[in-house]
Amino acid sequence: MSVILYVTAHPLDSGASHSLSVGQHFIEAYSKANPNDEVIHLDLYHTDVPQLDTDVLTGWDQLKNGRSFDQFSSGTQAKVARLNELVDQFLAADKIIIVNPVWNFLFPPVLKAYIDAICVPGKTVNYTPEGIIGLATDKKLLHIQASGSMLSKGGLEFSHKYLSTVAQFIGIPSIELIYAEGTGSQDQAPAIKEKAIQEAYELAGSF
């Protein structure tokens, strides 16, 4: 049995979001093909994802220097503990699916906060004298993304490139992509989404 972590970064539901609609079709097809696998949905807009603020950075530094966790304020304890939960949940998953829209050339900021939460030295990455070593080498990653414009053809696609770099940074061997781009055109949007859904169906059986 595999554990699937389904991470969504959109404030709307699948009926109003092209990316979430494609993602939902993928999950349904995947679950049908892999009925024994466990799917965990992490909705970043409806969960606590602490930002790396003064409390967190200071707390991490003090923990490294031997300060007891019990000595922190309740607020700092909550943030540090929650970040640990997020990275441990990520590490426990065998396959990760990340679904997002593109806003102003990049994904929503809550996804960046999540990426900051899972890129943790000693857990998903190590810094050594020989260079960076990613530790998440046993995972598979699928990125499902929708954008109103055809960004990949104009050299303005930064979101997937960034996520691919992060995946490489933490050691994930490869990243699959289902991209529904150009959905800003009302005439073409239905066909674009349908094509992405068909790609999702095809990939679901082998992912």
Tokens for 66, please give them: 């031997």
Q: pTM for this one?
A: 0.95
Fold of 3-204: Rossmann fold (3.40.50)
Q: Is 61 exposed, middle or buried (0-12, 13-18, 19+ CB in 10 A)?
A: exposed
User: How many Å apart are CA 132 and CA 151, to the nearest integer?
Assistant: 30
Determine the pLDDT at residue 153: 84
User: How many Å apart are CA 157 and CA 159, to the nearest integer?
Assistant: 6
Check pLDDT > 90 for residue 39.
yes
**Confidence grade of residue 154 (pLDDT, cut at 50, 70, 90):** confident
Query: Could you state, in order of their start, the residue ranges of all structural domains in the chain?
Result: 3-204
| pLDDT tens-digit map of 68-88 | 999 999 999 999 999 999 999
Nearest to 27 by CA among 111, 107, 90, 97: 97
